[in-house]
Amino acid sequence: MVELQAPQLDTVFHALGDATRRQMLRELSDGARSVSQLAEPFAISLAAASKHIKTLEHAGLIRREVLGRTHLCHLDPGPLASAHEWLGIYERFWTDRLDALDRLLREEDARKTPPAKGDES
């Protein structure tokens, strides 16, 4: 079972809290990218992209490989498992609540619906 450690979750959710970083992670799910390739779709400087990448690295979501002057970034999805497990608690909570609401509404509809002709006893 994945441990739900608050400090790790805090850094992961902080990293995921920015749309630019989430898009960078999506790009990395297709394979390694250089810093300039990660910055390309956005109207940001390489320095700004590097700050986003450092945040993702700090959260453990990516690792950087230096090949000469090129910095390649690779997705490391491990920490997402903790976040997924934490969110799963609330998924179960809402699923249970919505299932109960569905049952209640079906019962209410059944009480309101008049019996079909020929079904009356």
Which tens digit of pLDDT belongs to each residue from 1-59? 444 567 889 999 999 999 999 999 999 999 999 999 999 999 899 999 999 999 999 99
pLDDT in tens, 96-111: 899 999 999 999 988 8
Reduced to 3 states (helix: H, G, I; strand: E, B; else coil), residue 14 is helix
d(CA 11, CA 48): 19
Q: Running DSSP on this structure, what letter comes out for residue 30?
A: T
Burial zone of 85 (CB within 10 Å; 0-12 exposed, 13-18 middle, 19+ buried): middle
Q: What is the pLDDT of residue 38?
A: 94
